[in-house]
Homo-oligomer: A and B are copies of this chain.
Amino acid sequence: MELKDSIHKVKEDSLKLASLDGEIRNRALEMVCHALRSEAPAIFKANESDLAKAEKDRLPEPIVKRLRFDESKLSDCIAGARDLIKMDDPLFKVLLKRQLDDGLSLTRITCPIGVIGVIFESRPDALVQIACLCIKSGNGIILKGGSEAKATNRVLFDLIRKAACEAGLPENFAALLEEREQIDQLLKCENDVDLLIPRGSNSFVKYIMDNTTIPVMGHADGICHVYVDGDADPEKAVPIIIDSKTQYVAACNAAETLLVHKDAAEKVLPKLAEAAGGKITFRGDERTVSIIGCERANEADDSTEYLDYILSVRIVDSMDEAIDHINRFGSHHTDCIITENVDEAEEFMRRVDSAGVYHNCSTRFADGFRYGFGAEVGISTGKLHARGPVGLEGLVTYKYQLRGSGQIVADYAAGRSVFDFKDL
């Protein structure tokens, strides 16, 4: 079967999936948990073969680490699915109920988006997490995992599909793509795919965004800032900066640029340099260099996502300058102010145009689990639909139902009938 036909079948079955009760979708998740546990030996065996191939191909250590699917990852996956079962059904929620006139009532009700295409990196646990989120939210799903994880993904996909279908989900609610070339074909399926969620390198996400008319949710880069205000407490500032930069440098919510008010520079920068203990390479503007004697930053540093133990540092004369810098060079992901002045903090949080605006805490908190949302499909720096960490809620849309008893618009246009709006 051609790829576009397989994808069209997912579209067709997504329409059946959309009207299934929450009970059936929860039962499917139950059966997935059960299958993950009972098929554990087959999963681990497939993963061993992926790992052996990775070793043979001398893949870098971080990739191998993410590729590994062991008992601890399996337990996390099952626990994640059980959490989803406990969550309220995101579908068929009434968001608005309004009488327009006697016997004419409008309801806005949540429903699935349709078919979601997720292109993800090497972690096989991402496949389980995403598939479970889509089952819970009643969306058809096209999965494309990293080629390093091909064997593991295939076993996981097959068992999830089998378990979910036994619970009553339609046969083609999900499809797995296994070849890189299929991505370009997927990008052309605008009639059958309603949303793409690419997860991967900046250049990859940007490639997806530039080469499809399907809506894309995600973020291409994460240039996050920490701004240390003149009224900052250095005791808070230093650990927050170190955590924002180094707690996991490869993450999109790691800080890349530090902005320091001129009144705080002398108090904070030497302490920061000392606390970093050589672990962070600072690239500073002229004033920073004069204080801590670090490397000199150039223009490109303002818009570089290092994803490394490097931090660019700039001294600013005012909070206005910091806000302007963040709105201009940032990626509207997550930006933080450190200050004891609550009014300044509130103004910063209002004026910075980012999905996350923080006061006195690490940018690394920008994450669905840490927000208490449960599993996430990604973080969005777009402003439409979902913004920030996207969980179940970002996978649903709504429709308007209008229930009448023969009403026609001509009567209202002619004044024979008059609207009588009442929220119910």
Contacts and interface: CB of A to CB of B under 8 A. Distances in A.
Interface of A: 15, 18-19, 98, 100, 104, 106, 111, 113-114, 194-195, 209-210, 213, 215, 217, 233, 235-236, 239-240, 242-243, 247, 327, 345, 347, 349-351, 353-362, 364-366, 370-372, 382-385, 387-388, 397-410, 412-413, 419, 421
A172 to B, nearest CB: 15
Contact of A240 (B195, B353, B362, B408): B408
A408 B239 contact: yes
Nearest to A99: B372
A384 B387 contact: no
A253 to B, nearest CB: 9
A397 B104 CA distance: 30
Contact of A372 (B100, B113, B406): B100
B350 A243 contact: no
A222 to B, nearest CB: 15
A4 B242 CA distance: 39
Nearest to A398: B387
A410 B243 contact: yes
28 contacts: A15-B351, A15-B353, A98-B371, A100-B370, A100-B371, A106-B371, A106-B372, A113-B384, A194-B384, A195-B384, A215-B215, A243-B408, A349-B401, A356-B399, A357-B400, A358-B403, A359-B404, A360-B403, A361-B403, A361-B405, A361-B406, A361-B408, A362-B407, A364-B409, A365-B404, A372-B419, A384-B384, A384-B397
Contact of A239 (B217, B364, B365, B406): B406
A48 B233 CA distance: 65
A235 B408 CA distance: 12
Given A18-B351, A215-B382, A370-B412, A358 B404 contact: yes
A372 B327 contact: no
A360 B401 CA distance: 11
A384 to B, nearest CB: 4
A252 B359 CA distance: 47
A356 B400 contact: yes
A236 B100 CA distance: 18
Closest 6 CB pairs of A and B: A361-B404, A243-B408, A364-B409, A236-B406, A372-B421, A384-B385
Contacts of A350: 18-19, 111
Contacts of A400: 355-357, 366, 371, 387-388
Q: Which residue of A98, A114, A399 has the most chain B CB atoms within 10 A of its CB atom?
A: A399
Most B-side CB within 10 Å, residue of A194, A209, A354, A372: A372
A18 B354 CA distance: 12
A242 to B, nearest CB: 8
Nearest to A405: B360
Given A353-B114, A371-B106, A400-B355, A19 B347 contact: yes
Contact of A357 (B401, B405, B406): B401
B359 A403 contact: yes
A362 B408 contact: yes
A350 B104 CA distance: 18
Given A100-B371, A388-B399, 8 more contacts: A15-B327, A98-B371, A113-B383, A194-B384, A233-B406, A360-B404, A387-B399, A387-B400
B100 A419 contact: no
A242 B239 CA distance: 70
A372 B100 CA distance: 7
Given A19-B347, A401-B357, A409 B372 contact: no
Nearest to A328: B12
Contacts of A349: 401
Contacts of A357: 399-402
A362 B409 CA distance: 7
B351 A402 contact: no
Contact of A104 (B361, B404, B405, B408): B361
A280 to B, nearest CB: 14
